[in-house]
Amino acid sequence: MNWFRKISNRLRTTIKYSASNPENFEESWSFQSNSIRLISLILIVFILIGVLSVYLFSGPLSGLVGDKKIERSQLEDQNILIEELSAKLESQEIYIENIRLILSGEVPMQIENDSIVELIEIDLEELKTSVTGVESKLSKEVRNDISTPAGKKNIGITYFGSPIVGVVSQEFDQKNHLGIDVVTSKDKTVKACLGGTVIYSGYTRKDGHILIMSHAGNFMSVYKHNKTVLKKMGTKVQLGDPIAIVGNTGENTDGPHLHFELWYKQTPVNPADYIKFTR
């Protein structure tokens, strides 16, 4: 233990540290300290320098070291992505606003100039195909089961499909109610009244899940308050295809039913003039 005591005494011994001018040996500065204090001071300085270096190189200055090209490239890609998303969002908002204006009758709807491809009607009588009597009878039964003859003349369409069959709870009114409400059992399938293209499929606070279709012959059909919609915007649908499920969504409803609107040449018409909703 004597050697440990000797080392400890040496470290505790006060030593004078000074600096002098070599020409005249005049003392410039000096201080007194023991070895323990001096070693402790040196360790503290090294620790502070290490902590400061870690903070600077992993924090505020981290962007100044490393690969600047990768960082700049990532920022440019993110800016491009943000601009694309902003453009898509703006386009979607404009499209929804146009649909709202069309339904309210504030602006004319020009189906012919729309980007949606209008369906081409085919005259089956011009096709030279042989149909047996059994096939003809079966075809007529199926057609009558899902369709009703058009009530108006000279519209270019012979049959409309019944989107749903039930009890009519509210009739069409040109001023106060631009469609017809059909009450039916919950979760019943809603079908397309005509072949066409889905031009809107979404949700609104008042009318719940909505689906809007564009048809040949300047017709457009609207289906509101659905539990869910089965088709996306831009989907082409044939007459009788399932497009939604009857529901009770939106504020303007008090029970499961379908609010159905039929528009002809930018004007709402009475769906009951074209379609049979009751058996």
Would you list the domain boundaries of the chain? Answer: 2-59, 93-120+146-279
Residue 194's contacts (CB-CB under 8 Å, 6 or more residues apart) are 157, 160, 161, 213, 215, 216, 219, 221, 239
Q: How far apart are CA 253 and CA 154, in angstroms?
A: 35
Checking if the pLDDT of 150 tops 90, the result is: no
CA distances to 121, 154, 167, 174, 271 from 276, rounded to whole Å, are: 23, 19, 11, 19, 8
pLDDT at 255: 83
pLDDT at 58: 67
How far is Cα of residue 13 from the mean position of the Cα atoms in its chain? 78
pLDDT at 96: 75
Checking if the pLDDT of 114 tops 50, the result is: no
Checking if the pLDDT of 198 tops 90, the result is: yes
pLDDT at 43: 83
Q: How far apart are CA 239 and CA 161, in angstroms?
A: 6
Output 129 or 265, whichever has higher pLDDT: 265
Q: How far apart are CA 82 and CA 259, in angstroms?
A: 38
Q: How far apart are CA 187 and CA 189, in angstroms?
A: 6
Which of the four pLDDT bands, split at 50, 70 and 90, describes residue 120? Answer: very low
Output 89 or 163, whichever has higher pLDDT: 163
pLDDT at 181: 92
Q: Which two tokens stand for residue 228?
A: 């869910």
Q: What is the dihedral of CA 83, 84, 86, 91, to 10 degrees?
A: 140
Q: Which of 39-48, 110-119, 161-170, 206-215 has the lowest mean pLDDT?
A: 110-119
Superfamily the domain 93-120+146-279 falls into = Glucose Permease (Domain IIA) (2.70.70.10)
What's the pLDDT tens digit per position in 48-80?
888 887 777 666 555 554 444 556 667 777 877
CA distances to 40, 151, 198, 212, 215 from 118, rounded to whole Å, are: 87, 23, 12, 15, 7
pLDDT at 136: 57
Classified as helix, coil or strand, 183 is strand
| 153 Rama sector, left if φ>0, alpha if ψ -120 to 50, beta otherwise | beta
Q: Tell me 121's DSSP state.
A: P
pLDDT at 71: 66
Q: What is the pTM of this model?
A: 0.51
pLDDT at 163: 92
Nearest alpha-carbon partner for 148 in 190, 82, 194: 194
